[in-house]
Amino acid sequence: MFNEVDHEDLCAYSKIINVENRYFANKDGLFYIGDSLVVSPTFNNVAEYLNLEISTRGSTSSLVGEKNHAWSHQSDRKVGLYISINGERINVNFTSQKKGIFGWVRYDTKYYAKFKLDGGFQFSESAYYGYPFEKYINKNNVEFQIDTKELDGNVTVYLGKVDYRSGPVTYRYATSGYMEV
């Protein structure tokens, strides 16, 4: 999919909602496991992709509601981060572009971001964030910052996980909060 509103945004966006399926599903979200055809849920358009909430209800992985992205834009550079959730896993897609002679192109950069997430969130300290080995740190409802190593202009990394939670309405895995980049 391409952004039909911001004509300076030349990035192609995946229609497939589940980040893990983007590597092997076709453009319609279809792939085979053995002799069974699997249909991965897809976005209808870029507007739907850009207007998401950081939560899933029940056992589905559909994202609905509020925005799940943060971005910063200057006249010649822009960066963003997009959160997706699949079961207990929260993934972050980092994007960066700079304006060149032929329009916007991707470039490598370091990212600085601030988060405050609740709902049983555990941050995954990993090599992407400068830690020597991976471990989970409870960051539930506590503001924290990340300072990544230099990443490609479009890369998805594992941010952390959320716990099973129930209440008046049962949510299999859910989290909410804010983020800045």
- Reported as a single tens digit per residue, the pLDDT across 125-165 is 988 888 888 888 899 889 999 989 888 888 889 899 887 66
122 has pLDDT over 80 = yes
Phi, psi at 27, each rounded to 5° = -65, -15
Q: Which two tokens stand for residue 86?
A: 């699949």
Per the listing, tokens 């496991």 go with 33
pLDDT value of position 62: 32
The CATH code belonging to domain 45-180 is 2.60.40.3900
67 near 55, Cβ under 8 Å? no
CA-CA distance, 129 to 115, in Å (whole number)? 14
Q: Would you say the C-alpha torsion 153, 140, 133, 148 has a positive or negative sign?
A: positive
**What is the Rg, in whole angstroms, of the alpha carbon atoms belonging to the chain?**
17
54-89 tens-digit pLDDT: 433 333 333 333 467 787 878 788 888 888 877 788
Per the listing, tokens 């994007």 go with 95
7-43 core/surface letters (b: 16 or more CB in 10 A; e: else):
eebebebbbbbbbbbbeebeeebebeeeeeeeebebb
